[in-house]
């Protein structure tokens, strides 16, 4: 097709293809085991598939209400109230959305204005900054400190000024596997007191938390909840990342604005899936057992990796294990991740991809949401390095 010259002024001039797509493509090309992108390689519960199928057969195949199927919103209100003692009104404060990424984007598009500053804490999930930029906002970077990837609240405080519109949190954290403590939340509460800063709290891994830690949802802290938007994802909870369904919680005054943006982005989510999840979520074990399920996988992988030269970093939540490889190679993490994919046959994500300046601490991220046999094969190859 001939191209009209100079027709484009890119809105995202610095964005390339997401690292997840790049590493998955490399894994496919070289037939490598894909521990890069965060998705399970095992099936979801056949009961859930049956419920979607049943909903389709029963004829629930037209548009759902814009904010989501009402009984599903009611079920989420009940779950949130039971788990975090926070009540969100299903009519005005809960919206079902097609996945966490879109919910994050809709929130930022609705609430961040031209020139507003948004603080992100690196290493961070790669959709935050492009969404901020598309909204005309300015990303401001705080960082978690190695080792242990703790948030440095005094550093973060220095970044706050009267242009700060939003702070984005993510717990349990992708890529680090760290969780925010209630002490962290108290510090955040103090920091935003007296400001009009909104918190965007990405809690898509809320049920994947280990070692007796409790998920510290911002909804547990009333002084934070009144200014917070929470994002969750059924894709992570029910092993159905390909279904792209999640939800967003926010006080009504914030949700009004988020829905205004969202209705013109997507309008509503796949109807049969909403019917199915409404039924499925009645069994609380479907989400309450998830932490134990993934803790077992984390430990299985860690045991297998004991004979390797990788040093595994602490992982308290999410389905990602970070590992330092400085005993194996001096290469930067992108070169090393590429070589390990091509030569050793295991794909991972280099952590520098989660920093705007590509900070390289010689750390790779491995996804352990995999069958035991996949983890065994991968660990064997990694142990030979
Ligand atoms: N936030 C984080 C931290 C994630 O890791 C992901 C998925 N990789 C998302 C949001 C997006 O979730 P979804 O697949 O539901 O869009």
Judgement on whether residues 105 and 225 belong to the same structural domain of the protein: yes
Q: Do 305 and 273 reside in the same domain of the chain?
A: no
56 is a domain residue: no
Range of the domain at 313: 19-44+288-383
pTM (2 d.p.): 0.97
- Residue 300: per-residue pLDDT: 98
Residue 147 has pLDDT above 90, yes or no: no
The alpha carbon of 99 and the centre of ligand 1 are apart by a number of angstroms equal to 7
Looking at the CA of residue 241, tell me the nearest atom of ligand 1: 14
Question: 230 alpha carbon to ligand 1 midpoint, in Å?
Answer: 13
**What confidence tens digit (pLDDT) does each residue in 84-134 have?**
999 999 999 999 999 999 999 999 999 999 999 999 999 999 999 999 999
The reply to whether ligand 1 has any atom less than 6 angstroms from the CB of 125 is yes
Out of 9-18, 50-59, 158-167, pick the least confident. 9-18
Q: Please calculate the CA angle 291-292-293 and round it to the nearest 5 degrees.
A: 90
| Helical pair 252-263 and 100-111, crossing angle rounded to 10 deg | 110
Distance 235 CA to ligand 1 centre (A): 8
Q: Is the CB of 101 under 6 A from ligand 1?
A: yes
How many whole angstroms from 52 Cα to the centroid of ligand 1?
A: 22
> Per-residue pLDDT tens for 37-75?
999 999 999 999 999 999 999 999 999 999 999 999 999
CB 207 within 8 A of CB 215: yes
Domain closes at, from 286, 311, 327: 286
Atom number, ligand 1, closest to the C-alpha of residue 246: 15
Residue 25's pLDDT band, with cuts at 50, 70 and 90, is: very high
Do 146 and 181 sit in the same domain of this protein? yes
Is residue 275 located within the same domain as residue 217?
A: yes
> 229, 253, 286: which is the final residue of a domain?
286
Ligand 1 within 6 A of CB of 37: no
Query: Are 367 and 350 members of one domain?
Result: yes
Closest by CA position to 222, among listed 261, 186, 273, 173: 186
| Domain harbouring 331, CATH code | 3.90.1150.10
């Amino acid at each position: 097709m001939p191209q009209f010259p100079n027709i484009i002024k890119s809105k995202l001039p610095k964005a390339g293809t997401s690292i997840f797509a790049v590493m998955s493509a490399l894994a496919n090309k070289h037939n490598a085991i894909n521990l890069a992108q965060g998705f399970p390689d095992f099936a979801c519960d056949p009961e859930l598939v049956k419920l979607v199928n049943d909903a389709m057969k029963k004829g629930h195949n037209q548009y759902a209400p814009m904010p989501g199927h009402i009984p599903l919103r009611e079920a989420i209100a009940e779950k949130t109230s039971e788990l975090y003692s926070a009540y969100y009104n299903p009519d005005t404060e809960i919206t079902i959305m097609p996945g966490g990424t879109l919910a994050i984007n809709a929130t930022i598009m609705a609430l961040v204005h031209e020139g507003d500053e948004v603080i992100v804490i690196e290493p961070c999930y790669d959709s935050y900054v492009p969404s901020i930029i598309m909204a005309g906002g300015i990303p401001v970077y705080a960082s978690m400190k190695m080792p242990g990837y703790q948030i440095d609240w005094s550093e973060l405080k220095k970044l706050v000024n009267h242009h700060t519109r939003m702070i984005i949190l993510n717990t349990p954290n992708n890529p680090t596997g760290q969780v925010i403590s209630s002490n962290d939340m108290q510090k955040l509460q103090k920091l935003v007191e007296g400001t009009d800063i909104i918190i965007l709290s990405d809690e898509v891994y809320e049920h994947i938390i280990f070692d007796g830690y409790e998920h510290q949802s911002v909804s547990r802290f009333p002084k934070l909840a009144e200014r917070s938007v929470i994002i969750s994802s059924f894709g992570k909870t029910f092993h159905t990342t390909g279904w792209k369904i999640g939800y967003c919680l926010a006080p009504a005054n914030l949700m009004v604005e988020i829905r205004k943006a969202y209705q013109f982005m997507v309008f509503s989510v796949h109807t049969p899936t909403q019917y199915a999840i409404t039924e499925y979520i009645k069994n609380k074990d479907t989400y309450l057992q998830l932490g134990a399920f993934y803790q077992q996988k984390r430990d299985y992988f860690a045991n297998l990796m004991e004979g390797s030269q990788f040093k595994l970093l602490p992982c308290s939540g999410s389905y990602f294990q970070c590992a330092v490889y400085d005993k194996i190679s001096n290469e930067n993490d992108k070169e090393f991740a590429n070589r390990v994919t091509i030569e050793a046959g295991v794909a991972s994500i280099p952590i520098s991809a989660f920093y705007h300046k590509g900070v390289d601490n010689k750390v790779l991220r491995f996804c352990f949401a995999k069958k035991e046999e996949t983890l065994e094969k991968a660990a064997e190859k990694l142990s030979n390095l």
